[in-house]
Amino acid sequence: MQHSNTQDTLVGLFVAAGIAGLFFLALQVSNLSSFSNKASYTISANFANSGGLKVRSPVSVAGVKIGQVSAISLDPKSYQSVVTMSIDAAYNQLPDDTTASVFTAGLLGEQYVSLEPGGSDTFLKDNGKIDITQPAIILEKAIGQFLFKAAEEKK
């Protein structure tokens, strides 16, 4: 039975190595470890335009990522974009007059939500809403306005 025993060991080693490979992919390569198992709370904000924002785009304060966008939908009455964000529970001291803006990381980078805390003493709670927002800057629009202005000045 010696032969069979080594075979068992090798098969065991193979299965263990395969599962280790899959675990490596799950924990080291994907975002499974970063957010899903941490406690978080949800806040939302209405933007006039959320631009190229996507689900899982980062939410940051002063450049530090504190959460991610969990859903984007359209408010059928105001035609505004409702961006729902899940924020790490460790950062539960955002004032309720926080400003939310959609920015682009670099010229070609992805878009993210930047929160700028205000001075209020009361904090945003779970399912809270950010009232002051600044829409995404659409590059074509900005260039269009600039050209239009330049043409006006020439006259």
Could you say whether residue 52 binds another protein (CB under 8 A)? no
Could you say whether residue 129 binds another protein (CB under 8 A)? no
Q: How many CA atoms lie within 13 A of 130 on its CB side?
A: 29
Could you say whether residue 127 binds another protein (CB under 8 A)? no
Picking from 42, 122, 126, 115, the residue whose alpha carbon sits closest to that of residue 85 is: 42
What are the start-end ranges of the H helices in the chain? 2-24, 139-154
Could you say whether residue 29 binds another protein (CB under 8 A)? yes
Could you say whether residue 19 binds another protein (CB under 8 A)? yes
Which residue spans within the chain are E strands per DSSP? Answer: 40-47, 58-61, 64-75, 80-88, 99-104, 111-116, 128-130, 132-134
Residues in 67-126 at the binding interface with another protein, rule: CB under 8 A: none
- As measured in angstroms, the least distance from the Cβ of 60 to another protein is 12
Residue 31 or 127: which CB sits closer to another protein? Answer: 31
Picking from 36, 30, 126, 42, the residue whose alpha carbon sits closest to that of residue 84 is: 42
Could you say whether residue 34 binds another protein (CB under 8 A)? yes
Among 26, 48, 71, 138, binds another protein (CB under 8 A): 26
Contacts with another protein by CB under 8 A lie at: 7-8, 10-11, 13-15, 17-22, 24-26, 28-34, 36, 56, 58
